[in-house]
A = this chain, B = another copy of it.
Amino acid sequence: MPSGRRVMTVRVAVAGASGYAGGEVVRLLLGHPGVELGALTAFSQAGQAVGAVHPHLGPVAGRVFEPMSAQALAGHDVVFLALPHGESAALAEGLGPDVVVIDMGADFRLRDAGVWERFYGSPWAGCWPYGLPELPGAREALAGARRIAVPGCYPTAVTLALFPAVGAGLVDREVVVTAVSGTSGAGRALKPHLLGAEVMGSVSPYAVGGTHRHTPEIAQNLTAVTDGEPVSVSFTPLLAPMPRGILATCSARLTPGTDARQVRAVYEKTYADEPFVSLLPEGVWPSTGAVLGSNQVQVQVAVDPAADRLVVVSAIDNLTKGTAGGALQSMNLALGLPETTGLPRTGLAP
């Protein structure tokens, strides 16, 4: 990993390191050659050993979570925020303009204050550069950025599946999405329906009917590639019996005259040079198992002539590309490092 040598070492803190997203950031930072791991802060877990909360993080098992505070986070070049929404703005203010602040929460994702308030029921905190490098113009916006909003896990999977077709006008602007997620997507919340005994052997939906908070984020991303023509999103998330992974099944009606060849050509062109997006060979379909623990996105397209619809399926690891990996990818861009530095390209299978 020669890039490991060309880069200066940056000092990185993680605020909210005791949750699943925080733990995944630490896992990836431990493999990043240009990073020195600084403070790891937590709320209720403060004072506990990292190894007691994240037994898989052997190399830092003996370290202790510090209480959440401005002082604890001071003196770092980069600070990742893995906090419940509503917590990030105040913390970010205290960190100074030169610190790279990367928010893995929702606070700075939405551009429309009214939409934010309708879905989150709290005052809008603002909007930061959006950390999805594969979107048109995103890399330019992220280069040198000091504030970055990491996309939600579902919006990452769905946007990368649909924006090429929507942007190229291959389909109409009423997309229908069903996305299956592993249960880590719900975080380490102590709720009965997340207990192993309830989860194993069962698939169930939630937030049906457009109420999931990721719905407006998906719409915002797709509308951005249609010169502002609004895109309607029917989004249904499902919980499946696996720890990690999102498989998004996305469809929309084909624009008259569009055929499979054109569709494939658009996706091939869009993703030809993307390091983390794999348009699979024809006939091969994505699976969450194939991207487990990696920053890869698997994408495949199909035209259904009878139903006159385009179907696009994408697979990601919700905690890696969907959260912490995407965050590191944006950090690399903000710091001028090679975009792929420290990010796994292979999944863990079987």
Residues of A within 8 A of B (CB): 1, 4-5, 20, 23, 27, 30-31, 33, 49, 51-52, 54-59, 61, 174, 176, 178, 180, 182-184, 188, 190-192, 194-206, 208-210, 215, 232-236, 238, 240-245, 247, 249, 251, 253, 278, 280-281, 284-294, 296, 298, 300, 302-309, 311, 313, 315, 345-350
Q: Is the CB of B192 within 8 A of A243?
A: no
CA distance A269 to B308 in the complex (A): 33
13 more contacts with CB within 8 A, not counting A201-B245, A202-B245, A208-B311, are: A52-B284, A56-B291, A56-B349, A57-B347, A176-B176, A176-B251, A180-B203, A183-B195, A201-B201, A203-B288, A204-B286, A210-B306, A241-B241
A55, A209, A303: residue with the most chain B Cβ atoms closer than 10 Å: A55
* Cβ–Cβ contact B200 & A201, under 8 A: yes
Residue on B nearest A20 in the bound complex, by CB: B350
Contact A249 B288 (CB under 8 A): no
10 nearest A-B residue pairs (beta carbon): A202-B289, A196-B199, A56-B347, A209-B302, A204-B287, A234-B307, A178-B178, A55-B290, A56-B349, A197-B350
CA distance A343 to B286 in the complex (A): 27
Question: How near does chain B come to A293, taking the closest CB pair, in angstroms?
Answer: 4
Q: Of the candidates B196, B249, B346, which one forms a contact with A59 in the assembled complex, judged by CB atoms under 8 Å apart?
A: B346
Task: Establish whether residues A245 and B203, one from each chain, have CB atoms under 8 Å apart when the complex forms.
Answer: yes
Copies of this chain held together in the complex: 4
Tell me if B20 and A202 are in contact (CB < 8 A): no
Closest B-chain residue to A49, C-beta based?
B281
Question: Could you list 5 examples of A-B contacts with CB < 8 Å?
Answer: A55-B349, A180-B240, A182-B197, A203-B247, A240-B241
Q: Report chain B residues within 8 Å CB of A232.
A: 306-308
Smallest Cβ-Cβ distance to A312: which chain B residue: B208
Whether A197 lies near B183 (C-beta < 8 A) is: yes
Q: Find chain B residues with CB under 8 A from A203 CB.
A: 180, 240, 242, 245, 247, 287-288, 315
Q: Contact check: which of B54, B184, B348 meets A56 at CB < 8 Å?
A: B348
| In contact, B307 and A241 (Cβ under 8 angstroms) | no
Residue pair B178, A244 in contact (C-beta under 8 Å) = no
Q: Inside 8 A of A345's CB, which chain B residues have their CB?
A: 30, 58-59
Contact status of A56 and B285, CB under 8 A, knowing A210-B307, A251-B176: no
Chain B residues contacting A57 (CB-CB under 8 Å) are 346-347
Residues of chain B lying within 8 A (CB to CB) of residue A199: 196, 199-200
Residue of B nearest to A219 (CB): B306
A12 to chain B, nearest CB (A): 16
Asked whether, in the complex, the Cβ of A192 is within 8 Å of the Cβ of B188, the reply is yes
Contacts of A349 in B (CB 8 A): 23, 54-56, 198, 202, 243
In the complex, which residues of chain B have a beta carbon less than 8 angstroms from the beta carbon of A247? 203-205, 238
